[in-house]
Amino acid sequence: MKFLVGSYFIIVSCLAYFMIQDKELKESMQRGEQIYTDFCITCHLANGEGVAYTYPPLAKSDYLMNNREASIKGVKYGQRGPLIVNGVTYDNTMMPLGLENEEIVDVMNYVLNSFGNSGAKTVTLEEVNTILK
């Protein structure tokens, strides 16, 4: 009986944690969509597909999914030089956007969970705070 009660408590606790986490991610993504619209849409376009050979796609981006820290660093400090996204080389400059760390969290959560990207662990403020130039 103690085992059943203990198991029940663990299951309910886990479900509550994931429900809260999902709500927080959804709210972060909503804020991130607005930031994307304000800062990113000009180059990466509304559908996240970018401009061929000029601005890399964020949609279904292998680079974003496989280079999480570098992606966050690029949003935080800007990015210069070549990178390969979905097999295509892009060699351009992305200037720093001047976003606060909280805004970087939100826009990264939006991008990593939109445009055909999925399954990424939620980006946290602590994670962004640790990214140094």
Closest CA to 112 of 55, 61, 69: 61
Q: What is the pLDDT of residue 92?
A: 95
Q: Report the mean per-residue pLDDT for the chain.
A: 89
Q: What is the pLDDT of residue 12?
A: 45
In tens, the pLDDT along 65-98 reads 999 999 999 999 999 999 999 999 999 999 999 9
CATH of the domain at 21: 1.10.760.10
Q: Distance between CA 27 and CA 40 in Å, rounded?
A: 19
Residue 94 dihedral angles phi and psi, to the nearest 5°: -110, 115
Q: Per-residue confidence at 10, pLDDT binned at 50, 70, 90?
A: low
Q: Distance between CA 110 and CA 19 in Å, rounded?
A: 18
In tens, the pLDDT along 14-35 reads 444 444 559 999 999 999 999 9
Instruction: Find the domain containing 124 and state its range.
Output: 2-130
Q: What is the pLDDT of residue 42?
A: 97
User: How many domains is the chain built from?
Assistant: 1
